[in-house]
Every structure is written in structure tokens, then in C-alpha cells.
Amino acid sequence: MSSAAALPETMTAITVSTPGGPEVLVPGPRPVPKPAPGEVLVKVEAAGINRPDVMQRKGLYPPPPGASDIPGLEIAGTVVALGEGATTYKIGDKVCALVTGGGYAEYCPANEATTLPVPDGLSMAEAAAMPETVFTVWSNVFDRGGLKPGETLLVHGGASGIGTTAIQLAKAFGARVVVTAGSDEKCAACVNLGADLAVNYKTQDFVTEVKSFTAGKGANVILDMIGGPYIQKNYEAAAQDGRIVQIAFQQGAKAEVDFMRLMLKRLTHTGSTLRSRPVAEKAAIAAAIVAHVLPLIAAGKYRPVMDETFPLADAAGAHARMDASAHVGKIVLVVG
């Protein structure tokens, strides 16, 4: 391992004292980790908050084998040490990274293959808000969903970090975008961001609205993080040869579904997780992001949408904000 300077032996990190509410996120000392072969050690300046962190806090989403028990799946900061064989970045580089855990801390190792340069013009908080959502949207909307120019994308949870990213990327690549959100204010924010139609799911039926918007044809690709009763409704809202991509089950992973629509419409219902995928698969996604997404930032067509920032020590406050579901865009922890 090579290091720019002597690193401290301990750091402040957020741990889950016991499964539960936001109050179980407690700051405390931890040893500064050492980067493994192929990794860089990042002095964290900001870390994004994501739904999987909430699930981990509740004891419902344990870290995969070998991953840190410290929450946090995306970071931005400065490279301060290099693991054996790490050659892509040098000490002092500003980077953001997708990690399997450990982000809620002052230092975090990251595999070079899932580390990206911080794009010009982005703050470190914005850079930390990018990896998890961009990796998720690219791999699910474009790789698995195969969204094409001129098609219609339906995004559930349009005001979330993933939703706001999906709106911008889909529009940048020539698709039409319909979103669902839980308030008129969130719907307005989505439209301002570029959504062609925003449906308040509390007062409107999204199946009816999607059918009306598409002249009865339905959505070509549906990105769903809700599950439960939405599974059947997605089958109804989908177009012929539609692709439904499942990335979470906020309302449950079990549902009673009439699969006849799957056959009659020739639907594809797929899904994926990100955290447990092999590094090689994540590396391929990272390469696509460098080629197709980072240029959109320079062109002014994509920028992470920010909600609020919280200091690292107040991770509980950040999670309370997430639990309240009042946010539009990303909630980020600022370190230091």
C-alpha cells in the first residue's frame, strides 16, 4: 500500500447499534481501513443516503459477505492511499465511488473498477449523490430495460434520487417520461426536471393516466421500486412487448398477479440488485457510465438533484428525513 502521508489509526464512523429507527445510527471510533489489492482508500468528503441503507438499519438487508457493516453505498472524496496493483488513480485525485458498504465514515476503501472521477462543475456532495443512482438507472433502464429513443418510460417514485436521475437520463436519450409521486409538489418538481407527465398516485390512477398519455398503448419500460399491488397494475400499464424492471419492493415482494397479461402482451418482467453483483459486472456498468453519462454532465443535460445535506454525526437526522419521504432528490452526509 502506498500513502500520501501518515494516516490516523482511527476514524469516526456510523454504526447500527441495533436494528431499528434512525436513532440507532450512532457515531463512534473505528480503525481506518486499509485498501485491498485493486482498491483505493478515499478520505470521504460526502456520502449519499439510499433506501438500502434504511433497510440495513432495520436489519432487513445485511451486508454481503466481505462487505463492511458500516452503512453507505456511495462516496466522494480524495484518494489518500493505493492498494497493491491499483493504477487507475493517483493519490490526491478527486473521485466518487460505488462501494459495498462503509460510506458513512471518514475513510472508505473503493474498488478502482467502480470508482469514477468527479466531473468538473460538481460539488463533492453532488458527486456523492451520483454513483448508486446512476449505476442503478443505467443498468436497469438501459441495459435490462433496453429503453430506446421515442419510447415511453414509466418511473415509480419519480422524486427519489433514482427517479430524478431516470427522468434526466431518459430525456437525454430521447424517450418520453411518465412518473408517479406522492404529492402535487413532488409532481411539479418532476415536470420541472423534464418529465412529460407526473401522476399523483394518491389522487390519480396511474394506469388510466399512462394509457391516456400514450393513446392507449401503455409504457414501453417501467422502472418499479414499489412492488406489492403495483406488480399487477404495471402489467396493465405496460405496452405490447413492454419491459418491467424491478429494483425494490417497498410495498412487499409478494402479490397476487394475473399472469395472462404477461402472455398476451409478451411482457418481460425482470429485475436486479446492485450491491451483491460481481465486481466485473459493476466495472462494465462503470465503463458505460463514463462513455454515456458523464458527458451529459458536461453538456448540462444531467445533474444530481439535491435535497438536504447533514453532517456525518447526524446520520440519524438524514435517515429521519428519508423515512418521512418528503425529499426530492438525494439526501447526503457531509464529512468534516
Q: Give 101-124 pLDDT, tens digit per residue.
A: 999 999 999 999 999 999 999 999
- Average pLDDT on 63-84 reads 96
- Please report the pLDDT score of residue 2 as a whole number: 73
Position 336 pLDDT exceeds 90: no
- Please report the pLDDT score of residue 136 as a whole number: 97
Task: Give residue-wise pLDDT tens across range 223-243.
Answer: 999 999 999 999 999 999 999
Please state the φ and ψ torsions of residue 12, each to the nearest 5 degrees.
-90, 130
Integer Cα distance of 314 and 319 in angstroms: 9
Q: What percent of the chain has pLDDT over 90?
A: 97
pLDDT band at 88 (very low <50, low <70, confident <90, very high): very high
Position 5 pLDDT exceeds 70: no
Task: Give residue-wise pLDDT tens across range 175-215.
Answer: 999 999 999 999 999 999 999 999 999 999 999 999 999 99
- Full-model pTM: 0.95
- Average pLDDT on 80-106 reads 97
Integer Cα distance of 135 and 5 in angstroms: 32
- Please report the pLDDT score of residue 147 as a whole number: 98
Position 335 pLDDT exceeds 70: yes
Position 4 pLDDT exceeds 90: no
